[in-house]
């Protein structure tokens, strides 16, 4: 065993406890970006994001926005952590090259964060600055082509310093600013291609009409989230036909918002009850949410758990999950997007086969998650195989091993869940959870081995 691997705690008894999770990555990074694009006739009034996620992905977003010209101040609001963002001063998408552009480009580090690499190029194009985007070596496999194609269609000049369609690349300022207002892209590889253009589009001089040309957009819940966040902030956006969106040009008023808990990151803790026959309760569960993690109650019931959501206010409740004596597979799990590695841990403990469908785009996530899940299930003595649009778990895992994390937070937590019931599981790089939950190891230990 690698001496730096993390020994996954085994559950000596059914896992029982009350858990809260940090704020949503997807909502935090949308609000931070929109705060940086807010405008009240150039007065520069800041916006406040209360209870933001504090993790590598949100830090990368904040650092990038600061480099692009936003002001960032950390503070407390009614005892809760918050961040106050003073907007970037934009030329309304018509900025011409400034003196600054002759100098060194602004460098944006995307790390491995999809929300940074896919959402910020459109913001960069509005700043009138030359902006160089790069990230971790592991980010170089993540598709970027549709982002670049969309921006080029709007008149943005881009040079690609690596393999075409991937990081790194540079956004160049253009004398006329953004000239186009209608583009067609193929967003089959990531919903973030759509969200990234829509989020900044209210600040484009003529707004944006965006069409998707491929067969389907994956993780559509995340596009729904983008539309809802924009509408809540007063941006006019609609979807006149499936896979077409129109954002009207306009101001984004400065705002104050509190971020919901991350329902995707809630998954491993809820699964701790599911796999050990324990009982976990989670207060603060939103009664209505655009997060894909809202699917947990239904998914956990599908695997045999008892789940109930008891409202405690108009907007939130406590979710109770009780694990069964023995997990049973629903047979097919469809379109679970970023929840897939966590659901795969449940499937890997079921005697029956489980087929995961409509998740082909996970090949472009933090790692090729289909290959990674199949490899790690096999390493633990189970049988699994890839399919065109997903994978099958054919037989359950049987023994411990060191689970590779592939720099992927969700592969690391996949290993942690299995380690609750399979002796001698370790996780090669538990530190990869810092992407969205830096204190995962402590939180996990508090719940499963207090």
Ligand X SMILES: O=C(O)C1=C[C@@H](OP(=O)(O)O)[C@@H](O)[C@H](O)C1
Ligand Y SMILES: C=C(OP(=O)(O)O)C(=O)O
Which residue ranges are tagged as binding site for 3-phosphoshikimate? 25-26, 30, 190-192, 219, 338, 365
Q: Of residues 93, 111, 114, 207, which one binds ligand X by CB under 6 A? A: 114
Residue 218 interacts with, from ligand Y, ligand X, none (CB under 5-8 Å by kind): ligand X
Question: Which residues fall within 8 angstroms of residue 448, CB to CB, at 6 or more apart?
Answer: 9, 11, 15, 272, 420
What is the closest distance, in whole angstroms, from the C-beta atom of residue 199 to ligand X in the complex?
9
Distance set, CA 313 to CA 23, 50, 259 (Å): 19, 19, 16
Between 222 and 322, whose beta carbon lies closer to ligand X? 222
- Annotated active-site positions, please? 338
What is the closest distance, in whole angstroms, from the C-beta atom of residue 341 to ligand X in the complex?
11
Binding residues (CB under 6 A) for ligand Y: these are 113-115, 338, 365-366, 410, 436
Residue 173 interacts with, from ligand X, ligand Y, none (CB under 5-8 Å by kind): none
* 188 forms part of the interface with ligand X (CB under 6 A): no
* 56 forms part of the interface with ligand X (CB under 6 A): no
Between 190 and 434, whose beta carbon lies closer to ligand X? 190
Between 48 and 290, whose beta carbon lies closer to ligand X? 290
Between 219 and 405, whose beta carbon lies closer to ligand X? 219
Distance CA(178)–CA(412), nearest Å, equals 41
In terms of Cα–Cα distance, which of 330, 402, 399, 342 is closest to 369?
A: 342
Question: Which residues fall within 8 angstroms of residue 423, CB to CB, at 6 or more apart?
Answer: 10, 399, 400
What is the closest distance, in whole angstroms, from the C-beta atom of residue 365 to ligand Y in the complex?
4
Q: Of residues 115, 329, 360, 433, which one binds ligand X by CB under 6 A? A: 115
CB 357 within 8 A of CB 390: yes
Q: Of residues 222, 295, 392, 435, which one binds ligand X by CB under 6 A? A: 222
What is the closest distance, in whole angstroms, from the C-beta atom of residue 81 to ligand X in the complex?
21
What is the closest distance, in whole angstroms, from the C-beta atom of residue 349 to ligand Y in the complex?
21
Q: Of residues 47, 55, 191, 336, which one binds ligand X by CB under 6 A? A: 191
Distance CA(276)–CA(19), nearest Å, equals 16
* Count of residues in contact with ligand X, rule CB under 6 A: 13
Between 67 and 222, whose beta carbon lies closer to ligand X? 222
Distance CA(48)–CA(227), nearest Å, equals 20
CB 436 within 8 A of CB 412: no
First-residue to last-residue Cα distance in the chain: 25
Site string for ligand X, 71-110 (x = CB under 6 A): ----------------------------------------
Distance set, CA 66 to CA 88, 167, 368 (Å): 8, 20, 31
* 190 forms part of the interface with ligand X (CB under 6 A): yes
Per-position DSSP letters for 251-313, written without gaps between them: -----EEEPPB-HHHHHHHHHHHHHHT-EEEEEEEESS--SGGGGHHHHHHHTT-EEEEEESS
Segment 288 to 347, residues that bind ligand X, using CB under 6 A:
337-338
Question: Which residues fall within 8 angstroms of residue 184, CB to CB, at 6 or more apart?
Answer: 153, 210, 211, 212, 213
Pairing of strands 80-86, 71-77: antiparallel
* 361 forms part of the interface with ligand X (CB under 6 A): yes
What is the closest distance, in whole angstroms, from the C-beta atom of residue 340 to ligand Y in the complex?
9
Residue 219 interacts with, from ligand Y, ligand X, none (CB under 5-8 Å by kind): ligand X
Distance CA(397)–CA(376), nearest Å, equals 9
Distance CA(400)–CA(435), nearest Å, equals 25
What is the closest distance, in whole angstroms, from the C-beta atom of residue 185 to ligand Y in the complex?
17
CB 139 within 8 A of CB 408: no
Segment 16 to 55, residues that bind ligand X, using CB under 6 A:
26
Between 48 and 360, whose beta carbon lies closer to ligand X? 360
Between 434 and 436, whose beta carbon lies closer to ligand Y? 436
Task: List residues binding ligand X (CB under 6 A).
Answer: 26, 114-115, 190-192, 195, 218-219, 222, 337-338, 361
């Amino acid at each position: 065993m690698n001496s730096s691997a993390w020994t996954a705690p085994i559950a000596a008894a059914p896992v029982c406890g009350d858990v809260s999770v940090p704020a949503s990555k997807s909502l935090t990074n949308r609000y931070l970006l929109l705060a940086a694009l807010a405008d009240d006739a150039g007065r520069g009034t800041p916006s406040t994001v209360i209870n933001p996620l504090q993790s590598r992905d949100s830090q990368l977003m904040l650092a990038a926005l600061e480099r692009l010209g936003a002001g960032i101040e950390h503070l407390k609001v009614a005892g809760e952590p918050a961040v106050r963002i003073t907007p970037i001063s934009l030329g309304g998408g018509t900025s011409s090259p400034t003196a600054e552009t002759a100098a060194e480009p602004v460098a944006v580090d995307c790390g491995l964060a999809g929300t940074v690499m896919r959402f910020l190029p459109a913001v960069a194009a509005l700043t009138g600055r030359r902006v160089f985007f790069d990230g971790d070596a592991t980010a170089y496999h993540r598709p970027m082509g549709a982002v670049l194609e969309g921006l080029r269609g709007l008149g943005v000049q881009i040079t690609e310093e690596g393999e075409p369609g991937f990081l790194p690349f540079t956004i160049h300022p253009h004398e006329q600013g953004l000239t186009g207002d209608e583009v067609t892209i193929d967003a089959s590889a990531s919903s973030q291609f759509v969200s990234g253009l829509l989020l900044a589009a209210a600040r484009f001089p003529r707004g944006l009409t965006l069409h998707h040309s491929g067969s389907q957009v994956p993780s559509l819940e995340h596009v729904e989230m983008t539309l809802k966040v924009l509408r809540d902030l007063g941006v006019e956006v609609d979807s006149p036909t499936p896979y077409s969106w129109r954002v009207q040009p306009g101001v984004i008023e400065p705002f104050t918002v509190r971020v919901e808990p991350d329902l995707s990151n809630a998954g491993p803790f809820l699964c701790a009850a599911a796999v050990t026959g324990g009982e976990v309760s989670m207060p603060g569960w939103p009664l209505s949410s655009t997060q894909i993690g809202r699917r947990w109650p239904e998914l956990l019931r599908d695997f045999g758990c008892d789940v109930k959501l008891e409202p405690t206010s108009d907007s939130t409740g406590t979710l109770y999950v009780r694990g069964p004596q023995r997990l049973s597979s629903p047979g097919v799990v469809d379109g679970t997007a970023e929840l897939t590695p966590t659901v795969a841990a449940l499937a890997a403990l079921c005697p029956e086969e489980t087929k995961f469908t409509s998740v082909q785009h996970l090949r472009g996530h933090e790692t090729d998650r289909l290959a990674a899940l199949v490899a790690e299930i096999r390493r633990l003595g189970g049988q699994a195989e890839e399919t065109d649009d997903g994978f099958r778990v054919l037989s359950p895992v049987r023994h411990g091993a060191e689970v590779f994390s592939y720099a992927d937070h969700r592969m690391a937590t996949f290993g942690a869940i299995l380690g609750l019931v399979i002796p001698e599981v370790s996780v090669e790089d538990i530190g990869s959870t810092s992407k969205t939950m830096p204190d995962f190891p402590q939180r996990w230990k508090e719940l499963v081995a207090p």
